[in-house]
């Protein structure tokens, strides 16, 4: 087995930290980023009482990020803002400024790339870095066998701070699984270094949910079986896990609990789907609100089409997603014979999907997706045998419901 060194770098409370960078007078206060698009901020830096507070928020938004002061009050990302307001009514609520976050994201990734160019993007605020071939990665001193890994982690952290003024945390270990886990162990601002020999002492005491890929459902199942730590998970027969979680997940879980992970750092991935969805301010009725729904539907299809065009992509499988007022979600797919990036064709196919859904309840969310993607300049001339279907000139949508 070849020796690897992989880092996971995670920005600390990224969106909130970017906001505080631009508004240092808010430092020390609980700050939450999130909510739906609102009017531009018109607050006075000199007068904190003019800044929007969580308690004044009304609507369906969630917290995207909470500063550490807000986290101390129990607010965390993905929490509904109404619930968050009950916990931290005085927290400052800032609208998300994705353009700015993307700029800072680009900046920190560039700074890392100057030191270690093999980078896997995991979203706007985190990356994996393959350090195996970076000079010094495996240096050791008499009192620190992981001195090279530690020094590299600290160097990356300093480079990010110099380039952005922002703090991040790193895990540096032999693989992605362990590094992801470790970057979270000493947040904010930590560099956690670990070798396979340290797994029993450092990893096994942690709860299974700390493993990336074990979510609420799996955690619940494990808990019911009395498995409360990664060490206990590691001691379970793989056959039992496979019976409980299926072949793939069960086998993976066993390996993960032992800290084994051979996944490479992937520098490029082809996109699999492009989608747009929106949750309405109020639940809409298929018939009573059909004009509103029809307009939103068309808008989503146009956005997806524009996204495809921007990336030079075309797709063949059109998907529709509805969420009802009881939060039940249904999806329908419709595969076309030919690739498309055309808004009208997408809307027609999504309309075919809509026909197959029984609209008994009010609708909370509407989404449109295009999958089975190909590059615009590499479409097969005869993609598939035509199987006969209507032409996209009629657009039966919410208009002809009823």
Partner DNA sequence: TCTGGGGTCCTAGGACCC
Binding to DNA (CB under 7 A) within 227-266 occurs at 246-249
Angle at 8 between CA 252 and CA 186, to 5 degrees: 100
- Rounded Cα distance between 128 and 293, Å, is 41
User: Do 251 and 242 touch, CB atoms closer than 8 A?
Assistant: yes
Give 167 or 212: the residue with its C-beta nearer to DNA: 212
**End-to-end CA separation in angstroms for the chain:** 64
Give 337 or 342: the residue with its C-beta nearer to DNA: 337
Q: Kindly indicate which of the ranges 111-119, 144-152, 214-222, 232-240 contains the residues binding DNA, using the contact rule CB under 7 A.
A: 214-222
Single out the residue of 170, 233, 274, 354 in contact with DNA (rule: CB under 7 A). Answer: 274
* DSSP H stretches of helix in 35-97: 68-71, 81-87
- Rounded Cα distance between 329 and 312, Å, is 30
Single out the residue of 141, 384, 399, 400 in contact with DNA (rule: CB under 7 A). Answer: 384
**Is there binding between residue 362 and DNA (CB under 7 A)?**
no
Binding to DNA (CB under 7 A) within 55-94 occurs at 59-62, 64, 77-78, 80, 82-83, 85-86
Give 78 or 381: the residue with its C-beta nearer to DNA: 78
10 is in an annotated binding site: yes
Minimum distance from residue 42 beta carbon to DNA (Å): 24
Pull the structure tokens for residue 105: 């994201």
Please report which helix (H) or strand (E) contains residue 90, including its range: none
User: Do 247 and 253 touch, CB atoms closer than 8 A?
Assistant: no
**Is there binding between residue 97 and DNA (CB under 7 A)?**
no
C-alpha R_g of the chain: 24
Q: Is 126 a catalytic residue?
A: yes
From the candidates 99, 110, 126, 358, which is the catalytic residue? 126
Q: With contacts defined by CB under 7 A, how many residues of the chain interact with DNA?
A: 60
**Is there binding between residue 295 and DNA (CB under 7 A)?**
no
* Bridge partners for 173 per DSSP: 6
Phi (first) and psi of residue 50, to 5 degrees: -90, -5
125 is in an annotated binding site: yes
Please report which helix (H) or strand (E) contains residue 34, including its range: strand 31-34
User: Do 377 and 284 touch, CB atoms closer than 8 A?
Assistant: no
Minimum distance from residue 144 beta carbon to DNA (Å): 28
Single out the residue of 19, 69, 120, 126 in contact with DNA (rule: CB under 7 A). Answer: 126
**Is there binding between residue 396 and DNA (CB under 7 A)?**
no
Single out the residue of 19, 125, 130, 261 in contact with DNA (rule: CB under 7 A). Answer: 125
Minimum distance from residue 220 beta carbon to DNA (Å): 8
Give 10 or 69: the residue with its C-beta nearer to DNA: 10
Minimum distance from residue 82 beta carbon to DNA (Å): 4
Number of Cβ within 10 Å of residue 129's Cβ equals: 28
Give 77 or 132: the residue with its C-beta nearer to DNA: 77
Kind of pairing between the strands at 168-173 and 191-193? parallel
Strands (E), 42-91: 63-66
Give 22 or 384: the residue with its C-beta nearer to DNA: 384
The DSSP string of 284-350 is E-TTTTHHHHHHHHHHHHHHHHHHHHHTTEEEEEEEEEEEETT--EEEEEEEEEEEE--HHHHHHHH
Chain residues that interact with DNA, rule: CB under 7 A: 59-62, 64, 77-78, 80, 82-83, 85-86, 122-126, 180, 211-219, 246-249, 269, 271-279, 307, 316-317, 326-327, 329-335, 353, 356, 365, 367, 369, 372, 384
Active-site residue numbers?
126
Pick out the residues of the known binding site: 10, 125
Pick out the residues of the known binding site for Mg(2+): 10, 125
């Amino acid at each position: 087995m070849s020796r690897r060194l992989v880092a996971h770098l995670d920005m600390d409370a990224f969106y909130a930290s970017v906001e505080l960078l631009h508004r240092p007078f808010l430092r020390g206060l609980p700050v939450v980023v999130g909510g739906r698009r609102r009017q531009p901020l018109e607050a006075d830096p000199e007068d904190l009482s003019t800044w929007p507070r969580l308690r004044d928020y009304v609507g369906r938004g969630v917290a995207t990020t909470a500063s550490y002061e807000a986290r101390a009050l129990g607010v965390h990302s993905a929490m509904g803002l109404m619930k968050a307001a009950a916990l931290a009514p005085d927290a400052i609520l800032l609208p998300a400024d994705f353009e700015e976050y993307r700029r800072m994201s680009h900046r920190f990734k560039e700074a890392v790339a100057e030191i270690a160019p093999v980078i896997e993007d995991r979203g706007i605020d985190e990356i994996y870095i393959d350090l195996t071939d970076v000079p010094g990665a495996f240096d050791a001193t008499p009192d620190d066998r992981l001195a090279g890994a530690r020094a590299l982690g600290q160097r990356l952290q300093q480079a990010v701070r110099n380039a952005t003024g922002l703090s991040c945390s790193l895990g540096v270990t032999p693989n992605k699984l362990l590094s992801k886990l470790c970057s979270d162990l000493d947040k904010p601002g930590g560099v956690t270094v670990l070798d396979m020999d340290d797994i029993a002492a450092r990893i096994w005491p942690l709860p299974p949910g700390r493993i990336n890929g074990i979510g609420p459902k799996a955690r619940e199942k494990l808990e019911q079986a009395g498995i409360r730590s990664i060490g206990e998970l590691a001691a379970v027969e793989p056959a039992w896990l496979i019976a409980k979680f299926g072949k793939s997940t069960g086998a993976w879980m066993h390996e993960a609990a032992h800290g084994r992970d051979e996944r490479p750092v992937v520098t490029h991935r082809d996109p699999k789907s492009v989608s747009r969805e929106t949750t309405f301010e109020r639940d809409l009725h298929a018939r009573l609100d059909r004009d509103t729904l029809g307009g939103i539907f068309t808008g989503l299809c146009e956005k997806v089409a524009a996204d495809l065009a921007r990336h030079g992509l075309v797709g063949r499988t059109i998907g529709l997603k509805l969420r009802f007022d009881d939060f039940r979600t249904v999806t329908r797919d419709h595969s076309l014979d030919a690739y498309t990036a055309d808004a009208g064709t997408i809307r027609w196919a999504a309309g075919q999907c809509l026909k197959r859904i029984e609209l008994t309840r009010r609708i909370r969310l509407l989404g449109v997706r295009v999958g089975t993607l190909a590059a615009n300049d590499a479409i097969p001339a005869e993609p598939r045998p035509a199987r006969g279907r209507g032409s996209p000139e009629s657009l039966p949508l919410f208009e002809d419901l009823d």
